Amino acid sequence: MLNIVISRLISALLVMLGVSCLVFFLIHLVPGDPIEVMLGESAQLADREALRHALGLDLPLLTQLVNFFDGLLRLDLGISLHSRQPVVDILLERIPATAELAVAALAVAVAVAFPLGILAAMRKDTLWDSTSMGVSLLGVSIPNFWLGPMLILLFSLWLGWLPVSGREGLASLVLPALTLGTAMAAILARMIRATLLEVLGEDFIRTARAKGLDERRVIGVHALRNALLPIITLLGLQLGVLLAGAVVTEIVFSWPGVGQVTIDAIQRRDYPLVQAAVLLISFTYVLVNTMTDLVYAWVDPRIRLQEGG
């Protein structure tokens, strides 16, 4: 098990190193002069040179790269061009809101997906099955930037039950969490159905039924536990998609999280802040995936015991 942990951590570090390089080079790979994009074509030459110097873009490329990694290690990713605050502070301030939204969306997804997936698998090829799979296909096909406004229209503007936007109290969390959780619930439900059906065809399920166990116990104890492994993996992968979806969802609901800051920074061409926000989101994704891998290894005795651990 220790070997697995070490090798996963090393490979996560390598990926994060690569991600940092890509984010660093993004500004150089993009065609045109980044300074011109930030300031506009009509900017004075002196202003351009001042910004170029402030961002360190006048230094040799290698020096820039070294400075970038030096700053990354010290968690100093520069100053926001817009607010003049350290970008790390700006992001730290926004993390709780995004974390809250992600956890709530995850809860929505799990709460919807398990009943839907299990129902579809138990009643395969019936109306229950086709209805729940139809609902889940619909969930995959509705982009969150449209689902969000639709939910606002229905529950906030017409029915007046929930607030339109902002982050004040639990009521304001409901619609963003529903919006963000829907696609994940849909994908998860399909996956749960498929894995459960596969497991239900196994010999030990027939044995369990032959022993006379009631169906609830066959599904809950024997089938679901064995179907859980691929579901955990998908959950980890989907959590990353959730982070990307949070960017859009936060815009729809004016939710004051990392995603909103990212889009604001992109629109203001606040390059250091964009860089740091993209790094934060993808680092989180890499870490979540690594943890998923480790949980997977820990849950599955075949992997856990493989190395004699």
* Positions that interact with another protein (CB under 8 A): 11, 14-16, 18-19, 22-23, 26-27, 30-32, 34, 37, 137-138, 140-143, 145-146, 149-150, 152-153, 157, 240-245, 247-248, 251-252, 262-263, 266-267, 269, 271, 274, 278, 281-282, 285-286
Shortest CB 288 distance to another protein, Å = 9
Nearest to 23 by CA among 292, 286, 289: 286
Cβ proximity to another protein, 65 vs 213, nearer residue? 65
Residue 268 · residue 82 · CB < 8 Å: yes
Shortest CB 245 distance to another protein, Å = 7
Cβ proximity to another protein, 50 vs 241, nearer residue? 241
What is the secondary structure of 64-82 as a DSSP string? HHHHHHHHHHTT---B-TT
Cβ proximity to another protein, 161 vs 220, nearer residue? 161
Cβ proximity to another protein, 57 vs 278, nearer residue? 278
Measured CA distances, 162 to 59, 109, 173, 175, 255 (Å): 52, 20, 9, 8, 14
The two three-digit tokens of residue 191, written as one number: 């996956």
Shortest CB 248 distance to another protein, Å = 6
Residue 271 · residue 30 · CB < 8 Å: no
Shortest CB 224 distance to another protein, Å = 23
Cβ proximity to another protein, 196 vs 242, nearer residue? 242
Measured CA distances, 181 to 97, 175, 184, 307 (Å): 16, 10, 5, 37
Surface-to-core class of residue 188, CB atoms within 10 Å of its CB (0-12 exposed, 13-18 middle, 19+ buried):
buried
Shortest CB 194 distance to another protein, Å = 10
